[in-house]
């Protein structure tokens, strides 16, 4: 029943029916919590409970309920942390914890709390980079690390720390550059360009027009090749 309710929520969410989707996700959460409460030592139920909290929080976020979203994402983070405590060698649980901290950071930034956001992104980044160090050829892990680093840059811009923000965007682009150069997946080239644009924006904010021009010229060249291949 919990899984069926979650699927109903997915369908409604993809149709843009946020209120009915939230209702289904809340019902799925209640069912999952009952399962976990009856079997608190079962990691699979704890994992599912975290996922259910994530979806309730995500839909609340999309509806503009940042307070409710933050509370759900906080519980998602706590469940992910408990899973990592129970199974410290399980990298899937550590990845979930990275996602959870990143989501909390994004919501805190939307709430106008950049310092809180920066702390959350820092925790997310530490986990993301430790996982990437173990599997440096894993594109999804690289994307997570680069994307988290770009959120760090965005938050530093919000705090007026322009030089540090530019460095964060440059480091994020550097993570994706090898995947772009390998040319095995157009997503990598697209993501690399997206990060170069953020780097260029930071250069413009700092008054480094020549640096921004170099990044944007490279971006245009890569986008041109992507269009030719489309």
> Per residue in 140-179, is it b (16+ CB within 10 Å) or e — as a string?
ebbbbbbbbbbbbbbbbbbeebbeebbbbbbbbbebbbeb
Tell me what pLDDT residue 185 has.
77
- Per DSSP, the residues of 114-147 read HHHHHHHHHHHHHHHHHHHHH-TT-HHHHHHHHH
pLDDT digits (tens, 9 = 90+) for 68-119: 999 999 999 999 999 999 999 999 999 999 999 999 999 999 999 999 999 9
Residue 184 has pLDDT above 80, yes or no: no
Name which of 151, 68, 171, 172 is nearest 102 in CA terms.
Answer: 151
Nearest to 193 by CA among 146, 228, 161: 146
Tens digit of pLDDT for each residue in 46-66? Answer: 999 999 999 999 999 999 999
What pLDDT is stored for residue 230 in this prediction?
A: 73
| Cβ atoms of residues 140 and 98 within 8 Å | no
Banded pLDDT at 183 (limits 50, 70, 90): confident
Q: What pLDDT score was predicted for residue 106?
A: 98
Q: Average pLDDT of 192-210? A: 95
Mean pLDDT of 136-155: 97
The two tokens of residue 77 are 């983070």
Question: Which pTM does this prediction carry?
Answer: 0.92
Q: Check if the beta carbon of residue 115 is closer than 8 Å to that of residue 89.
A: no
Cα 59 to chain centroid distance, Å, stands at 15
Question: Which tokens go with 229?
Answer: 């291949």
Percent of the chain with pLDDT over 90: 95
Average pLDDT of the residues of the chain: 95
Angle at 126 between CA 40 and CA 177, to 5 degrees: 125
Q: How confident is the model at residue 229 (pLDDT cuts 50, 70, 90)?
A: confident
pLDDT at 181: 92
């Amino acid at each position: 029943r919990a899984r069926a309710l979650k699927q109903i929520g997915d369908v409604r969410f993809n149709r843009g029916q946020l209120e009915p989707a939230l209702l289904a996700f809340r019902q799925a959460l209640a069912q999952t919590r009952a399962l976990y409460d009856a079997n608190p030592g079962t990691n699979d139920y704890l994992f599912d409970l975290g996922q259910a909290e994530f979806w309730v929080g995500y839909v609340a976020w999309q509806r503009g309920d940042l307070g409710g979203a933050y509370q759900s994402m906080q519980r998602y983070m706590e469940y992910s942390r408990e899973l990592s405590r129970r199974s410290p060698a399980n990298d899937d649980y550590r990845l979930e914890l990275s996602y959870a901290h990143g989501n909390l950071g994004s919501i805190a930034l939307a709430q106008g709390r950049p310092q809180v956001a920066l702390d959350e992104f820092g925790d997310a980044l530490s986990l993301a980079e430790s996982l990437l160090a173990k599997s440096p050829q894993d594109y999804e892990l690289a994307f997570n690390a680069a994307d988290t680093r770009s959120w760090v840059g965005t938050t530093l811009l919000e705090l007026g720390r322009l030089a540090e923000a530019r460095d964060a965007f440059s480091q994020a682009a550097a993570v994706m550059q090898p995947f772009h150069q390998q040319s095995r997946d157009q997503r990598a080239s697209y993501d690399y360009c997206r990060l170069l644009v953020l780097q260029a924006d930071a250069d413009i904010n700092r008054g480094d027009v020549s640096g921004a021009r170099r990044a944007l010229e490279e971006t245009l060249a890569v986008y041109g090749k992507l269009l030719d291949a489309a």
